[in-house]
Structure 1
Amino acid sequence: MNGTAVMTAIGAIGAVRLEHALAACESAAALAAEVMFGRSQAFAPIAHQLKHHPGQIASAGAIRSALAGSRLIDSGKHEGRIIQDPYSIRCAPHVIGAARDSLTWVRQVLHRELNSVNDNPIVDLENGETLFAGNFYGGHVALAMDLLKIAAASVADLLDRQFALLLDARLNEGLPETLVAYEGCGVKALQITSSALTALATQRSAPDTVLSRPTEANNQDKVSMGLNAALNAAEVITLLQQVLSALLVALSNAAALRDPARLSAGAVRLLEAVRARSPVLTADRRLDHDLRQLTQAIDARALFPR
């Protein structure tokens, strides 16, 4: 066994974790659009069909489905409202969709690698030869892991931007900057945590494949660095889940300030699951236990409606 087998195993687990996380991010993006009185036209089928990317089309469809029955979406019509929603709302299908399409390629690479011969010696029975080649090299998996972590970090940044929008009095359609109904900090400080986690995810998304170091008296003089890439990808996916947990706390408290009868059925189910682990704030309190519970639930697929 060599490092390629290990990076492939870690990568396969990471690919499944990211796929589940992206579906969760789409549910959160739909709820963000609701509480911000977003415009449904951003998710119209024709807009995404004309772009042609399968992941984007699927992501827009998931957000549309989550918004079904909402009476908050498209409800902001007051004078002075900005003409278009900010990118983090309007372009959510494009960001998540790009990650979805990246994940499609990653899964193809991993599937081929899992079914490949990736070490020495190779015995050629037809020609009676024993070959020592380079199939141990993990370049394909390494590049796939770099792409996996870049995709996850990009989506984490999208979620952090959505969180920041919720606190911006110029753009949040009348929500208090603390997202709570009492005098206190509310979730305002939590956005700092979200920003810090996103910064860490961005840092960890730097490519490992370009960092090859020669070893073993220049026998192993060009290596894939794929195990580092896979481990970093696993960490960035966890950071994405943590940023999502922070956003869900903010969205839950923001939704509590809107009319619950106007929420979509999908939002109601999501909020029930979130609030079972993080009750709406009635006074400032520690949130680390809430975030841990939410992150674990996201990773276990126990939080979002399927």
Structure 2
Amino acid sequence: MSIPIHPGEVSLASWRAVWQGADLALDPACRPKIAASAEAVRRILAAGAPVYGINTGFGKLASVRIADADLETLQRNIVLSHAAGTGAPMPKPVARLMMALKLASLAQGASGVRPEVIDLLVAMLARDLIPVVPCQGSVGASGDLAPLAHMTAAMIGVGHILVGDAHVPAADALARAGLAPLTLGAKEGLALLNGTQFSTAYALAGLFEAERLFRTALVTGALSTDAARGSDAPFDPRIHRLRRHRGQIETADALRRLMAGSAIRQSHLVDDPRVQDPYCLRCQPQVMGAVLDVLRSAAGLLGTEANGVSDNPLIFAEEGEALSGGNFHAEPVAFAADMIAMAVCEIGSIAERRIAMLVDPALSGLPAFLTPKPGLNSGFMIPQVTAAALVSENKQMAHPASVDSIPTSANQEDHVSMAGHGARRLLGMIANADAVIGIELLAAAQGVDFHAPLTSSAPLEAVRRSVRAAVPHLDDDRHFHPDMEAANRLVRTGAVIAAAGLDLPELV
């Protein structure tokens, strides 16, 4: 089934489906606006007045008038000169999402491109021809110029296209698919290069993965609470209604439902002298609820950005005008990416504290380092160290990218957003946090094992069974890495959420 793309009205759920590999179907109702926009560019050229990006140079060279005979060369030159990225290729799902975002932007009829440009993007997406795009080189203003130039270069037959797992010369890949390289008309190279679609694609991918991470960490946090015979009293709805934050209220509700019916929790009520649990247990609604609220704020920013038009100049066909502005500045994306980065960092940070609490017998009441024979065995000693290392990495990467700016283009572009790497770092941060949550999953399951014959709640016991199907209980020390990899897979694939079987909070 194809995802319908109505330019300007695409939901986050639809963008997620495209990122996950779904086909898309562009709404044909956008075609008249596309044609009218291209015709407006033709009329502007016929009028003979200098208009930025259509018959002038670019950036600091905007005052240089370009002859009509050189306009196709001008557009080709901007693509080739701007294809100056470096680093590893973008992950295919993110590059594919970037193409779809660019398609939806151009199809709103404000960019002056001909229908042929739209048709080639549609055809490449349908045939799974994804340009090989180096992931470094954007400062997030004047658009994501270098990455989008590499995308556009593939459309004109330069560079490489990913076909299956192979990097195939772009001209060959297009020819094999029965497609002709695009000859760019006036304004078209600039329209394809200008825009925030690289940054937005990475930020959306980070957002979608952060939501999965958040929901998984709710489950592991509840399991850790039961492993430590913690109290669910701090999750009482009366507490959270008084604070009024939506995310906090929903998070507390989820934690209560995850722990409902736990015999281990009931034992706490009978014979546990502790009055209050450590913050890493007690303050989960406050911390994770704030995370949820921040992710939702970022989702709002990115949902708006994904439906916007962010190239320059913009064509207003009815008035026959080309207006030069700054929609290519990716500050909203940079802010959203920074918000997601902070949220991801905090998910891992509080989870690591729960791991540290579980391995400490003075805090958890469990055997030291969760091993029956401490001393002879080290148990979970070093996995906690690994979690600490990963959390420290994420703290460094969570420094806001949006507060940095380095002027470019001979100071014409004197303030930039740095949204490109601000968004690109998110997937690496989430991979780190996934590993931390995987370690917590193993530690919490091990802790609950020690309470036998008492059992946890039905949802948490289902989660523990899924862990034990992949990783046996740790009696004596063994090679730990395979256990961690198995747990990490359960986290990354959403298997932990599925095993819990409850409706957990979502972004929308």
TM-score by length of 2: 0.58
Matched residues in 1 for 2:479 and 2:339: separation?
35
Counterpart for residue 62 of structure 1: 254
1:38 aligns with 2:236: no
Alignment partner of 2:438 out of 226, 245, 258: 245
Counterpart for residue 295 of structure 1: 488
Per chain length, whose mean CA-contact separation is higher, i.e. which structure has more relative contact order (CA < 8 Å, sep 6+)?
1
| Alpha carbons of structure 1 residues 229 and 35: separation in structure 2 relative to 1, 3 Å | same
Identify unmatched segments of 5+ residues in structure 1: none
Query: Residue type of the partner of 1:176?
Result: P
Compute the displacement of 1:12 (Å): 1.1
1:120-147 Cα distance to aligned partner (Å, 9 max, x none): 1200123221122110110001001001
Asked if the contact 1:54–1:101 (Cα under 8 Å) also holds between the matched residues in 2, the reply is yes
Identify unmatched segments of 5+ residues in structure 2: 1-101, 103-142, 145-195, 502-508
SS at match of 1:130: strand
1:279 aligns with 2:480: no
Compute the displacement of 1:301 (Å): 1.1
SS at match of 1:283: coil
Alignment partner of 2:367 out of 176, 188, 204: 176
| Alpha carbons of structure 1 residues 66 and 80: separation in structure 2 relative to 1, 3 Å | closer
SS at match of 2:476: coil
Asked if the contact 2:448–2:455 (Cα under 8 Å) also holds between the matched residues in 1, the reply is no
- Mapping of 1:78-117 within 5 angstroms? 81-117=273-309
1:6 aligns with 2:198: yes
Q: Percent identity?
A: 31
1:64-91 Cα distance to aligned partner (Å, 9 max, x none): 1110110111533688833211100000
Asked if the contact 1:40–1:74 (Cα under 8 Å) also holds between the matched residues in 2, the reply is no
Matched residues in 1 for 2:261 and 2:272: separation?
26
Compute the displacement of 1:188 (Å): 1.4
Query: Residue type of the partner of 2:355?
Result: F
1:165 aligns with 2:366: no
| Alpha carbons of structure 1 residues 112 and 187: separation in structure 2 relative to 1, 3 Å | same
Matched residues in 2 for 1:286 and 1:134: separation?
55
SS at match of 2:393: helix
TM-score by length of 1: 0.95
Counterpart for residue 315 of structure 2: 123
1:169-201 Cα distance to aligned partner (Å, 9 max, x none): 22112x111202234011112111111111111
Query: Residue type of the partner of 1:284?
Result: D
SS at match of 1:247: helix
Asked if the contact 2:248–2:288 (Cα under 8 Å) also holds between the matched residues in 1, the reply is yes
Matched residues in 2 for 1:177 and 1:295: separation?
23
Query: Residue type of the partner of 1:256?
Result: D
Compute the displacement of 1:238 (Å): 1.5
Matched residues in 2 for 1:200 and 1:157: separation?
11
Counterpart for residue 154 of structure 1: 346
SS at match of 2:479: coil
Compute the displacement of 1:36 (Å): 1.1
Counterpart for residue 193 of structure 1: 386
| Alpha carbons of structure 1 residues 78 and 192: separation in structure 2 relative to 1, 3 Å | farther
1:220 aligns with 2:428: no
Compute the displacement of 1:32 (Å): 1.1
Counterpart for residue 210 of structure 2: 18
Number of aligned residue pairs: give it.
305
Matched residues in 1 for 2:265 and 2:394: separation?
31
Tell me the C-alpha RMSD between the 2 structures: 1.6
| Alpha carbons of structure 1 residues 10 and 292: separation in structure 2 relative to 1, 3 Å | same
Matched residues in 2 for 1:130 and 1:141: separation?
25
SS at match of 1:303: helix
1:233 aligns with 2:413: no
Matched residues in 2 for 1:43 and 1:141: separation?
34
